């Protein structure tokens, strides 16, 4: 089996900053750099200054991709990544579920690191956004049959982004979808694959046409329990208790989700991972979503069966407390005592 790694630059240069070739033999992989081209354009960009010529204040998320990982610029100018080894392990585990050969954790990490190093000038200044990275694995072998591919390509795309939701830092307004489920038991709901996102695009389109920010989905079996937002996990806050649906095979085990749970426990909150009936939405004081793209996003309201329930938003709340700590760790302004940060240099 062959696995190729193309580390692409977001610039307009026709050159690929580095191509790493991974040749797969069963479960053993040998990595070798087979070609490297750095264009005159890229060289001049690196020499001209620390940042690319970008309007960082109006970045938006139109150039980004719906999920992946981010590189942040710290106040001291260092470029930081948040728990990238978990992304590597998640791709490896997901590839096994999808019968695909994948890069090792070491190969994944090296590919991402080289992509960031080649595009450091595209990492926004502190507080202006992040360099969004989309590691992608797909079958590229010469086969049209319904079977596992004979060859796979691993590509890392990168682009500077700001907020994922058009509301920016404003609270989201969610709509509970009762007809279309996001995932089924025995399916690939827990796998980071396109099969998690393509099926919900129509539901999201319809919800946004009605003025909602995104969609909250119910379980496919009973349609009585909440599961996930389209590309984010969801949390409910009730007093000193934080509740989130358990990852039972239909819900993606988000890296930000896991981090928020750990931070909340450190702060003394009680965290419950369990089945969450949709009726509990009426009991929550605060609601927030988590994801690589979304970060920690406050939810201002959720509409279910034409009944709108509103939640507390703003400073001094649990959501803001968790967001401040998470962002502080990600950007280096809070000491990383958990060894979650990788410095790219």
Q: Do 11 and 120 meet the contact criterion of CB atoms below 8 Å apart?
A: no
**Cβ proximity of 109 and 118 under 8 Å:** no
Burial 268-303 (b: 16+ CB within 10 A, else e): ebeeeeeebebeebeebebbbbbbbbbbbbbbbbbb
Q: Coil, strand, or helix at residue 276? A: coil
- Residues 6 or more apart whose CB falls under 8 angstroms from that of 103 comprise 3, 5, 22, 29, 88, 91, 92, 111, 137, 154
b or e along 53-66 (b: 16 or more beta carbons within 10 Å of the residue's beta carbon)? ebeeeebebeebeb
Q: Where do runs of H (alpha helix) occur along 161-286?
A: 201-209, 255-266
**Per the residue annotation, which of 8, 18, 113, 192 is the catalytic one?**
192
Q: Count of residues for the chain?
A: 345
Respond yes or no: is residue 8 known to be catalytic.
Answer: no
Q: At what angle do helices 255-266 and 84-97 cross, to 10 degrees?
A: 130
Whether 321 and 256 have beta carbons less than 8 Å apart is answered as: no
Catalytic residue set: 192
């Amino acid at each position: 089996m062959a696995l190729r790694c193309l580390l692409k630059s977001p610039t307009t240069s026709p050159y690929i900053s580095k191509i790493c070739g991974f040749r797969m033999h069963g479960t053993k992989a040998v990595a070798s750099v087979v070609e490297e081209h750095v264009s005159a354009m890229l060289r001049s960009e690196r020499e001209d200054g620390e940042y690319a010529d970008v309007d960082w204040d109006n970045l938006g998320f139109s150039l980004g991709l719906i999920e992946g990982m981010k590189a942040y610029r710290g106040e001291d100018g260092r470029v930081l990544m948040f728990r990238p080894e978990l992304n590597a392990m998640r791709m490896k585990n997901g590839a096994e579920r999808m019968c695909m050969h994948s890069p090792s954790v070491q190969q994944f990490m090296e590919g991402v690191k080289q992509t960031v190093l080649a595009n450091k000038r595209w990492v926004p200044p502190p507080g202006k956004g992040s360099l969004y990275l989309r590691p992608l694995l797909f079958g590229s072998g010469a086969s049209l049959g319904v079977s596992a591919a004979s060859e796979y390509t691993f590509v890392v795309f990168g682009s500077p982004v700001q907020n994922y939701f058009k509301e920016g830092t404003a609270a989201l307004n969610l709509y509970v979808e009762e007809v279309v489920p996001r995932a089924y038991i025995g399916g690939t709901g827990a796998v980071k694959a396109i099969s998690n996102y393509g099926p919900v695009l129509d539901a999201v389109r319809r919800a946004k046409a009605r003025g909602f920010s995104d969609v909250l989905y119910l379980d496919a079996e009973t349609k009585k329990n909440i599961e996930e937002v389209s590309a984010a996990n969801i949390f409910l806050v009730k007093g000193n208790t934080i509740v989130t649906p358990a990852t039972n095979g239909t819900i993606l085990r988000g890296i930000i989700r896991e981090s928020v749970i750990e931070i909340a426990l450190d702060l003394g909150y009680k965290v419950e991972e369990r089945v969450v009936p949709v009726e509990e939405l009426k009991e929550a004081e605060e609601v927030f979503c988590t994801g690589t793209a979304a970060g920690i996003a406050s939810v201002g309201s959720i509409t279910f069966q034409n009944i709108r329930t509103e939640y507390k938003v703003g400073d001094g709340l649990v959501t803001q407390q968790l967001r401040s700590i998470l962002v502080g760790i990600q950007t280096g302004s809070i000491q990383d005592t958990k060894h979650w940060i990788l410095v790219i240099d």
